[in-house]
A = this chain, B = another copy of it.
Amino acid sequence: MKIALIGAGNVAHHLAVELEGAGHDIITVYSRKLPNAEALSDRLSIAVATNELNFAESEAELFLLTTSDDALEKIIPQIVWPEEALVVHTAGAKSLTVLQNLLRVHSDVPLRTGVFYPLQSINKKIPLNWKEVPICIEGADEEIEHQLIEIARTISDEVYLVNSEERLQLHLAAVLANNFPNHLWALTKDLLAEHNLDFELMKPILKETLRKALDADHPAEVQTGPARRGDQTTMARHLQLLEDQPELARIYQTISESIMRWYL
């Protein structure tokens, strides 16, 4: 399948290399800044870099919109599409309808639409095992869905049909389970550093806890800590340590209360 990438960021980098490795032809890479498009096309065999958005004569059958959510709304009005092109975005928190409405307003030709959302935190500098990345597919009709599933299966063993509402739930879940713990680790590293203690010390317990949480039938089974036990003395002592850090104290209280409501 001939594919054009709109956007040359983290997701585009990984997807392009992986799709090409699976036998697809990435023929065009667009970025507003040409050097960014070139940086990616240089890693591909036949792709041409461009910073122009007139694709009327393009031979691409699939257009992958990999830009950020906000950029999507700015870029779509500028694109000229070939007729019947399959236009797909990769965003977790954007519905298929949003894409369709934008295209309805801003395109003169009939288009086919879908979503190709990899449920993974993707950084172009860090290698990724795509076989394990869940890819969430949605299409305007069954034929499109079938086509996108086939493409997704060439790079991942975990392909799912997920509608826009479900995808937004998954996106929220990723924020709660993924972005928030990462921030708690960042806060903890700084807290320890203030007392000349090394975050290194926490690594074994963090690895072990994730392993246990994922191995258990439910992460709740392996919950430990003072809030889990309702140990008010220890919680009060911790909050004392956070006296000068109202923000961290608020997080401590909010989550501890939630734990106590769950278990006690």
Contact = CB atoms under 8 A, between A and B. Distances in A.
A105 to B, nearest CB: 18
B202 A177 contact: yes
Given A185-B219, A218-B189, A119 B241 contact: no
A170 interface: yes
Q: Indicate the member of A158, A191, A213, A257 with the most B CB atoms within 10 Å.
A: A213
A258 B251 contact: yes
Contacts of A226: 93, 175, 179
Copies of this chain per assembly: 2
A128 interface: yes
Contacts of A237: 93, 168
Interface string A247-264: 110111011011101100
A54 interface: no
Interface of A: 68-70, 93, 119-121, 123, 126, 128, 132-134, 158, 160, 165-166, 168-189, 191-192, 195, 197, 201-210, 212-214, 218-220, 222-229, 231, 233-234, 237-238, 241-242, 247-248, 250-252, 254-255, 257-259, 261-262
